[in-house]
Amino acid sequence: MSKLEENIAKADGYLARFRKTGVLNHIDGEAVPAADGAVFESISPIDLKPLAKIAHGKAADVDRAAKASKAAFREWSSVSGSERRRILHAIADAIVARSEEIALVECVDTGQPHRFMAQAALRGAENFRFFADRAPEARDGKALRTVGQINLTGRAPIGPVGVITPWNVPFMLSTWKIAPALAAGCTVVHKPAEFSPVTARLLVEIAESAGLPKGVWNLVNGLGEDAGKALTEHPDIKAIGFVGESRTGAMILRQGAETLKRVHFELGGKNPMIVFADADLERAADAAIFMIYSNNGERCTSSSRLLVEKQIYQRFTEMVAQKAKRIKIGHPLDPDTVIGPLIHPLHEKKVLSYIDLGRSEGAKIAAGGEKVAGPGGGCYVSPTLFVNANNRMRIAQEEIFGPVLTAIPFEHEAEALALANDVQYGLAGYLWTSDVMRALRFSEQLEAGMVWVNSENVRHLPAPFGGVKGSGIGRDGGDWSFDFYMETKNVAFATAPRPVSKLAH
Ligand code: NAD
């Protein structure tokens, strides 16, 4: 039996229970169908065949879940930090123990290749460990002194929070949002993306089996316009942690206005990778390939605009094109596969329409550019490189969220900076140069929440993660996550009996 056949058999085994019972919601510690019994069907992008029936939650289900999370908040928020740390580490241990199952199920649900999802499952456990270790100090604050007064600051969890996640790397992203919320002492209602709901169910089960009390973590599946909207409007939900498209973020702001929701948004990107002639071109080419084609290009921090100094443009884009042509497209459960099928036929249609658009805008295809007949006949699109493009083209301005790279030449540093910043987004930037002063100067002026210099995206969990402009509001990571999930309170004590102004005698 090949490794692929073995993985298919194992994935079938893990999915059998969902084929039989469907994917249920999880409210107050119970696996429950939608209140009105409705379901929607989820398909696998590998063969477009039905994967499972998913509980189709709506406002009534969100209301139950929000009330359960409100009821659980009083107890969970008063659990000691060291106990929260112990439970979160137990969740991490349980994720590791079931990481094979998580990775295989995620691959079939999303089309993401196993080589990346195996790592993403373990990253999920690391997210829990990282925030677990910070739980005991999450409430600590500062002592701010002035003459005759000492101010003591402290933090308290904000309350029940809603977490709304996208379909691209659903398991890892859910842990990234939910682990800090739990570490802070918040309770959670999670609404996962309708295209890839299965591992969110595994995650809540894992958390409760590891000792998380009932009602602390609730799961409501459903569509954005009903379950998602109801969550953002619910008065018991104090904040919304959202990862998804920029225009959905704008909708959530409007929906949450009435109840004054605090929001944290991680949105889209059109991230530039800027390559100067003095860069290590071989490493830069590998990084360009990795940052646009890993995770099927369905990655918010993908380097989808390649800005290359004119004197090396021809040579460098040829290097990238040659590498792109050698990438293995295949079944996501094949350990050798680098690119699997895109999430859904609707998304495949969108990506292919951008490839047509790029051609009609006058850009030239140097690699890929077509649908591929991959195993299972699903949503396979070849890794695509556009050359002879300019920054005004829509393929250079809009987020395609697939394996499509647009390469644009620049003459000098000032032009590179202007092109890099001339976009509505500002999530990440990747700068390649051996000139240290230029790297410092350029990275300071680049309009992005995160810049990597001479590196692909390598995440350090204590560092802030998030975007500027249309790419987001707020930061995740380290203490920044607690700033979102907690309220800061200041208590001022007089340390000397200073005279109080008398307004009346
Ligand atoms: P999406 O915005 O369509 O959906 C995300 C989630 O929002 C889903 O769960 C969806 O059901 C829900 N939703 C939709 N409409 C809603 C509404 N009116 N109210 C409440 N919830 C609603 O995004 P997607 O297509 O699932 O994911 C791809 C997008 O996510 C890309 O733009 C990508 O860049 C972005 N993303 C960003 C980051 C980041 O960290 N910045 C990470 C991953 C993905």
pLDDT band at residue 336 under the 50/70/90 scheme: very high
pLDDT in tens, 119-139: 999 999 999 999 999 999 999
Interatomic CA distance for residues 448 and 467, integer angstroms: 6
pLDDT in tens, 235-274: 999 999 999 999 999 999 999 999 999 999 999 999 999 9
Q: What are the backbone angles phi and psi of residue 178, rounded to the nearest 5°?
A: -80, -35
Percentage of residues in the chain with pLDDT exceeding 70? 100
Q: Does residue 498 register a pLDDT over 90?
A: no
Provide the 10 A C-beta neighbour count for residue 213: 15
Q: Does residue 505 register a pLDDT over 90?
A: no
Q: What is the DSSP letter of 296?
A: G
Q: Whose C-alpha lies nearest to ligand 1, atom 8? A: 193
Q: Which of 33-42, 416-425, 443-452, 495-504 has the lowest mean pLDDT?
A: 495-504
In order of their start, the domains of the chain are 3-267+471-489 (3.40.605.10), 272-453 (3.40.309.10)
Please tell me the predicted confidence (pLDDT) of residue 391.
Answer: 98
Interatomic CA distance for residues 449 and 452, integer angstroms: 10
- Three-state secondary structure readout of 50-100: EEEEEECCCHHHHHHHHHHHHHHHHHHHCCCHHHHHHHHHHHHHHHHHCHH
- Ligand 1 pocket by Cβ (under 6 Å): 164-168, 173, 191, 193-194, 223-225, 228-229, 232, 243-245, 248, 251-252, 255, 266-269, 300, 399, 401, 427, 467, 472
pLDDT in tens, 154-174: 999 999 999 999 999 999 999
Q: Which of 191, 248, 258, 343 to mutate to test the pocket of ligand 1 (most atoms within 8 A of CB)?
A: 248
| Nearest by Cα to 66 from 207, 217, 214 | 217
Query: For residue 329, which amino acid is it?
Result: I
Q: What mean pLDDT comes out for the span 329-350?
A: 98
pLDDT band at residue 488 under the 50/70/90 scheme: very high
Interatomic CA distance for residues 363 and 61, integer angstroms: 48
List, by residue number, the catalytic residues: 266, 300
Taking the centre of ligand 1 as the mean of its atom positions, its distance from the CA of residue 244, in whole angstroms, is 2
Taking the centre of ligand 1 as the mean of its atom positions, its distance from the CA of residue 54, in whole angstroms, is 19
Q: Is 35 helix (H, G, I), strand (E, B) or coil?
A: coil
CA of 266, closest atom in ligand 1: 41
Taking the centre of ligand 1 as the mean of its atom positions, its distance from the CA of residue 315, in whole angstroms, is 37
Taking the centre of ligand 1 as the mean of its atom positions, its distance from the CA of residue 504, in whole angstroms, is 59
Structure tokens at 120: 């993403």
Regarding pTM above 0.95, the answer is yes
Taking the centre of ligand 1 as the mean of its atom positions, its distance from the CA of residue 243, in whole angstroms, is 5
Q: Whose C-alpha lies nearest to ligand 1, atom 42? A: 300
pLDDT in tens, 44-86: 999 999 999 999 999 999 999 999 999 999 999 999 999 999 9
| Nearest by Cα to 289 from 313, 319, 333, 312 | 319
pLDDT in tens, 267-326: 999 999 999 999 999 999 999 999 999 999 999 999 999 999 999 999 999 999 999 999
- Quick one: CA torsion of 490, 496, 499, 501, rounded to 10 degrees? 0
pLDDT band at residue 495 under the 50/70/90 scheme: very high
pLDDT band at residue 25 under the 50/70/90 scheme: very high
Q: What mean pLDDT comes out for the span 213-221?
A: 98
Q: Whose C-alpha lies nearest to ligand 1, atom 12? A: 224
CA R_g for the chain: 24
Q: Is 403 helix (H, G, I), strand (E, B) or coil?
A: coil
Structure tokens at 400: 């395609």
